[in-house]
Amino acid sequence: MSFAHLRLHTEFSINDGLVTIKPLLSRLQDLSMPAVAITDLANMFGLIKFYSGSMKSGIKPICGCDVLISDEAGQTRLVLLVKNHQGYLNLTRLISDLYTENPSHGVPEISKKNLAEFSEGLIAISGAQHSDIGTALLAGEEAQARELLGRWCEIFPDSFYIELQRVGRNFEEDYIDAAVALASACGCPVVATNDVRFLDRDDFEAHEVRVCINGGRSLDDPRRPRD
């Protein structure tokens, strides 16, 4: 069974990504992976280079973006993937609006209202533990999680997936058990992803340094987030 990464930050995610396009495509060829999505945080700067390189390498490129969502649950995450031309137009519109309507110094957030207006042609992946659904499940609020899932399925009919990740984070297994149960009860499909930020194990420390620089913390700070 083939596997394709659907959540991957490149060097264009300056807060935590180290992956560069050419080595990525070379690694995918070595691993016989047929496709990949790049989902940089709130930007699509690498799209042209990624698309061109993928075509030459025989890899199917999937255009996407990792976005921050603002709502009553606070700041949560969502991955958007393009499935057709209309989806590409809507994703570029959403990302453009992020920066014209939210001129802030941090990563801008998108509202569910805007997502609902420009959801056609897009696939949404929930955001695993960092989603509103994940937050509700880990808090034991199953009814709230079910309600949130219903709202997302209304915004993305037949195109919303509950995301499952096993990358070593705290409470990961608790989330997976609850998310699978919710998906089964509601008839929602699930998708397994990794959270790719670098290609080689030896790059982990450089990744940590980049995250610390972005967060204004030092590597030896015991209070710094590690998720």
pTM of structure: 0.91
Q: Can you read off the two tokens belonging to residue 14? A: 């300056």
Task: Give the distance from CA 63 to its chain's centroid.
Answer: 12
Considering the segment(s) 21-207 as one domain, its CATH architecture is Alpha-Beta Barrel (3.20)
Residue range 4-61, pLDDT digits in tens: 999 999 999 988 889 999 999 999 999 999 999 999 999 999 999 999 999 999 999 9
* CB distance 186 to 146 below 8 Å: yes
Q: Is 86 left (phi over 0), alpha (psi -120 to 50) or beta?
A: alpha
CA distance 145 to 125: 15
Query: Where exactly are the structural domains of the chain?
Result: 21-207
